[in-house]
Structure 1
Amino acid sequence: MTKNQIRIAVVQASPILFDKLSSMEKIISKTKEAAGQGADLVVFPEVFLPGYPRGLGFGTRVGSRNTAGREDWKRYWESAIEIPGVETEALGELAKETGVYLVIGVVERDREFSRGTLYNSVVYIGPDGEVAGKHRKLVPTGSERLLWGQGDGSTLTVIDTPFGRIGGLICWENYMPLARTAMYAQGIDIFITPTADARDTWQSTIRHIACEGRCFVVSSNQFVTKDSYPADLACYEDIKDDPGIMCRGGSAIVGPLGEYVVEPLYNQEGMLIADLDLSLVAQSRFDFDAVGHYSRPDVFQLIVNRQKQDIVRGFNQE
């Protein structure tokens, strides 16, 4: 039976970029703080582990890459994690100790084939300490494609919990109407949108998703200052003239009719705490259900390929 009430904590913070240990320490401290306030679900921003390298070019121009940029990228690669791996085991112990569900944006290093590709991923960890699922961003946005590979349909993840079904998409994936529909079709109740977008238009996006999906939308963003960047990066010059605040945040929680449960938080670190009434999801679908009575399968149909896309088949990759 689904519980109607859940207390959710949304973390708006940033680690020291390229520093896996800093990220893990902050995840531990913020999770314990949230659990101390009775949270059942704790959400961290896009690629919080080990951080979003906003403004850095990694020595790239169209048609060329330089050696210093490759060195910085290797440093970023070394700060990524594998799923499962040492870090997810530690996070599992944390979730089990605190009794919460953890949703964390991570940079994931491929562990099956070349081990050279990174992905912008979200990992879901249950209070039993196990990895409940993950999602890899389908299309990295703009110059993010220099860093991260493309995910596939096998990680369009929605997870059953005692308080409803949770899942989500990462940042600008949420502008993909068919990806959103694939999530709605899995009966999602709490739609989680880790992001790096601090613009006002992002707020329009998450409120629209709440209205369209008739679900709660939880958006977690980082508050990032320039002093969280290691000054010894080869590409540090890329941001030397940028303002002190690199990302102002804008984390928020929206109800299933598009109203703010907690309004956006800007220009500071913080944690949003809210009690969500999941009975409101069912109430909201009385007059609109995008994949139910308001769908027209005689006119529109969506085919979702959920197969894992491997470059080589037939080898045991474990």
Structure 2
Amino acid sequence: MKERHVRVAVVQSAPILFDKQSALDKIASMSREAAGQGAQLIVFPEVFLPGYPRGLSFGTRVGSRTAEGRKDWQRYWESAIEVPGAETDMLGELAKELEVYLVIGVVERDREFSTGTLYNTMIYIGPDGALLGKHRKLVPTGSERLLWGQGDGSTLTVIDTPFGRIGGLICWENYMPLARTAMYAQGIDIYIAPTADARDTWQATIRHIACEGRCFVLSCNQFADKATYPADLAYYADIENDDDILSRGGSAIVGPLGEYVAEPLFNQEGILLATLDLSQVVQSRFDFDVVGHYSRPDIFQLVVNDRKQEIVTKKVR
């Protein structure tokens, strides 16, 4: 029988950009703080490890790149991690020590085909230290497309836990109705939505998802200011005239009828904590179940290609 209650934590913070160790240190310290307050599931923002390079151009213009920008990108590449790899092993030890589930946004360096591509990835680690799964962002947004490759349907991941099924999508993937449907169809109870979007309209998005999917939504954003950016970047001037606060946050926890369980946190670092009653998920689906009695498979059907896409297929002779 599933546990009815779970204590969750949403971390709103930022490491020193491009500094892998800074991110790992923050994950450790803030996870310990959250676990000390009873958290069993701890969520970190989009690409927390090693940070979201908001405002940086990497020397790109349509039709051209610069040598200096390539060096900034190499620095970002060097701060990425492999999944699985040494860093996920370290994070597994942390999760095992604290007996918590960790969900963390990372920049993933592909290790299978070409080490030249990075992915915006969300990893799931269990309280036994095991890497339970990952999700790669399907469509990087806008100029993100030059930084990260596209994920595929093989990582539309949902994890079964003692307190319900957890999974999610990253930032503007949550504006993709069919991607959301693919997640709902896996029986998701706790929907995790790390983001870099601090606009007021994002709040409408996460409340809509909670109401549509009749699930809890944990939305997690970074709080970042100029102090989190290395001043020796070739293109630091890109943000020099911006406001000191580069991302104001807006992390929040929403219940399955669209109400706030924890109000949005703005303009500061912090940890949102809440105890979720999973029986509310069942109760909320009494009058609306988006992939159950409120679906019309005789009219609408979604086909999901969940096969891993490979550039090279080796045939055994």
Partner in structure 2 of residue 207 of structure 1: 207
Residues 78-157 of structure 1: pairs in structure 2 closer than 5 A: 78-157=78-157
Percent identical across equivalent pairs?
78
Letter in 1 for 2:165: R
Residue 237 of structure 2 corresponds to residue 247 of structure 1: no
- Relative to the length of structure 1, the TM-score reads 0.99
| Equivalent position SS for 1:166 | strand
Residue 161 of structure 2 corresponds to residue 161 of structure 1: yes
Residues 55-94 of structure 1: pairs in structure 2 closer than 5 A: 55-94=55-94
Residue 14 of structure 2 corresponds to residue 51 of structure 1: no
Residue 308 of structure 2 corresponds to residue 308 of structure 1: yes
State the Cα RMSD in Å.
Answer: 0.8
Q: Per-residue deviation at 1:214?
A: 0.2
Partner in structure 2 of residue 181 of structure 1: 181
What is the number of equivalent residue pairs in this alignment?
A: 316
Partner in structure 2 of residue 228 of structure 1: 228
Letter in 1 for 2:188: I
Structure 2 CA distance, aligned partners of 1:134 and 1:266?
Answer: 28
| Equivalent position SS for 1:290 | coil
| Equivalent position SS for 1:127 | coil
| Equivalent position SS for 1:2 | coil
Q: Per-residue deviation at 1:315?
A: 7.8
Partner in structure 2 of residue 18 of structure 1: 18
Letter in 2 for 1:167: G
Structure 2 CA distance, aligned partners of 1:63 and 1:16?
Answer: 30
- String of CA shifts for 1:31-55, please: whole Å, max 9, x gaps: 1111111110000000000000000
| Equivalent position SS for 1:87 | helix
Residue 295 of structure 2 corresponds to residue 295 of structure 1: yes
Residues 260-299 of structure 1: pairs in structure 2 closer than 5 A: 260-299=260-299
Letter in 2 for 1:235: Y
Structure 2 CA distance, aligned partners of 1:56 and 1:62?
Answer: 15
- String of CA shifts for 1:41-70, please: whole Å, max 9, x gaps: 000000000000000000000001000000
- String of CA shifts for 1:252-279, please: whole Å, max 9, x gaps: 0000000000000000000000000000
- Relative to the length of structure 2, the TM-score reads 0.99
Structure 2 CA distance, aligned partners of 1:280 and 1:301?
Answer: 28
Structure 2 residue runs without a partner (length 5+)? none
Q: Per-residue deviation at 1:314?
A: 1.4
Structure 2 CA distance, aligned partners of 1:2 and 1:182?
Answer: 23
Structure 2 CA distance, aligned partners of 1:42 and 1:221?
Answer: 13
| Equivalent position SS for 2:262 | strand
Letter in 2 for 1:151: G
Letter in 2 for 1:46: E
Structure 2 CA distance, aligned partners of 1:311 and 1:236?
Answer: 36
User: Runs ≥4 in structure 1, deviation > 6 angstroms?
Assistant: none
Structure 2 CA distance, aligned partners of 1:141 and 1:175?
Answer: 11
Structure 1 CA distance, aligned partners of 2:148 and 2:281?
Answer: 34
| Equivalent position SS for 2:195 | coil
Q: Per-residue deviation at 1:79?
A: 0.1
| Equivalent position SS for 2:221 | coil
Letter in 2 for 1:256: P
Structure 1 residue runs without a partner (length 5+)? none
| Equivalent position SS for 2:166 | strand
Residues 1-12 of structure 1: pairs in structure 2 closer than 5 A: 1-12=1-12
